[in-house]
Amino acid sequence: MYVAVKGGEEAILNSHKLIAEERRGDPAVPELTLTQIKEQMQIAVDRVMTEGSLYDRDLAALAIKQAQGDLVEAIFLLRAYRTTLTRFGETLPIDTAKMAVRRRISAAYKDLPGGQVLGPSYDYTHRLLDFALAAEEGAGEPQAEEAAETVAEAMPRVTEILNHEGLIEEEIALNDEEPVADLTREPMEFPADRDMRLQNLARGDEGFLLALGYSTQRGFGGNHPFAGEIRLGEVAVEFAPEELGFAIEIGEITVSECQMINQFAGSAERPPQFTRGYGLAFGHCERKTMAMALVDRALRARELDEVIEYPAQDEEFVLYHSDNVEASGFVQHLKLPHYVDFQSELQLIRSLRRRHTEETLEAAE
């Protein structure tokens, strides 16, 4: 039964006013600008774009400001905004081999062509709070070093190096004419193919994927991973407008990519060889792409004839629970009035208790 309850309009209105005041904070402190968020909270912006599944730095910055820095709320705002936009079509697949690389490391090969380029990273910091940033005058204008040369033009993928020896499974585009699964237009279906899984993981919650990836490392579906290659940089986005008939570059996006290399003992059909897990995300989201690559590999259990016994290998478990917009909505809907439901539960529990008392009394007689 559903009973509409009126009232509370003024309370809601005043709650909006109160949250607006709280969001602004102390008016004596200058208000944050979107440019400041975009320039100085870049990694938060990147997470919101990735999980909001919309590449637009300005909108992500606005969402972060509006949500008072609550990134899951900001992701929700971006997803909701997305539904107001017309879709012009699909791009050509981005080519990460042609990335303008700013970071590229491999934990599998020390001396690989193109070298280990650390790029911007917190990995090699001591994780000590830097009180210089807390100083009144701020960070000033730090200057990065500039080498005389640019990074090597040719940066072969580590997976290609292994390919030469046939030691790793190849990723081949078998049929580019096949329709590509799209969760923005169709519901999830099981068994889910890799295109659907990767789309789901790409916009999945970083915390959820991090925990699942971690679980595989701790033995809940382990497959002995190596970070074959991690890249960060800019790639061109090519789109073929139908009125033009050929593809043009319409912009450039920053992406993070992780190629995870995993052990595989072989099956009836396949010789022992390394297998792959793939992570890709908008912006600088390295931890996310590593977790995604671990979970992608774990979810390939069915295809690789592995026994499915752990949560990270269970595609329904993973794919149905990875989306923080859905998860947050369902968990938080518990806050909505359930007065009538609760009244019926109350009646039920009272009648059960009455019967329990009667039965206890009867048994005692």
Residues within window 269-298 making contact with another protein, judged by CB under 8 A: 276, 278, 280-282
Whether the Cβ atoms of residue 259 and residue 99 lie closer than 8 Å to each other? no
* Interaction of residue 11 with another protein, rule CB under 8 A: no
List of E strands, 218-320: 225-239, 248-262, 275-282
Phi-psi region of 65 (alpha: psi -120 to 50; beta: other; left: phi over 0): alpha
* Interaction of residue 165 with another protein, rule CB under 8 A: no
Q: Tell me which DSSP letter residue 177 carries.
A: T
CA distance 182 to 96: 21
Among 37, 41, 48, 59, binds another protein (CB under 8 A): 59
* Interaction of residue 253 with another protein, rule CB under 8 A: yes
Nearest-approach distance from CB 324 to another protein, in angstroms: 14
CA distance 64 to 68: 6
Nearest-approach distance from CB 118 to another protein, in angstroms: 4
Phi-psi region of 327 (alpha: psi -120 to 50; beta: other; left: phi over 0): alpha
Among 12, 80, 118, 265, binds another protein (CB under 8 A): 118
Among 47, 103, 284, 287, binds another protein (CB under 8 A): 103
* Interaction of residue 13 with another protein, rule CB under 8 A: no
* Interaction of residue 251 with another protein, rule CB under 8 A: yes
Among 13, 139, 180, 331, binds another protein (CB under 8 A): 180
* Interaction of residue 365 with another protein, rule CB under 8 A: no
Among 93, 207, 272, 337, binds another protein (CB under 8 A): 93
* Interaction of residue 47 with another protein, rule CB under 8 A: no
CA 142 and chain centroid, separation: 30
* Interaction of residue 226 with another protein, rule CB under 8 A: no
Pairing type for strands 275-282 and 248-262 reads antiparallel
Residue number, 120 or 207, with CB nearest to another protein: 120
Stretch touching another protein by CB under 8 A, among 14-22, 28-36, 54-62, 305-313: 54-62
* Interaction of residue 56 with another protein, rule CB under 8 A: yes
* Interaction of residue 115 with another protein, rule CB under 8 A: yes
The three-class DSSP label of residue 225 is strand
Cis amide leading into 30 (omega within 30): no
Span 287-346, contacts to another protein by CB under 8 A:
none
Whether the Cβ atoms of residue 181 and residue 202 lie closer than 8 Å to each other? no
Residue number, 23 or 193, with CB nearest to another protein: 193
Nearest-approach distance from CB 89 to another protein, in angstroms: 6
Whether the Cβ atoms of residue 69 and residue 32 lie closer than 8 Å to each other? no
Nearest-approach distance from CB 322 to another protein, in angstroms: 14
How many Å from the N-terminal Cα to the C-terminal Cα in the chain? 41
Among 13, 18, 20, 100, binds another protein (CB under 8 A): 100
* Interaction of residue 173 with another protein, rule CB under 8 A: yes
* Interaction of residue 88 with another protein, rule CB under 8 A: yes
Among 299, 314, 308, 288, smallest CA distance to 262 is for 299
The three-class DSSP label of residue 141 is coil
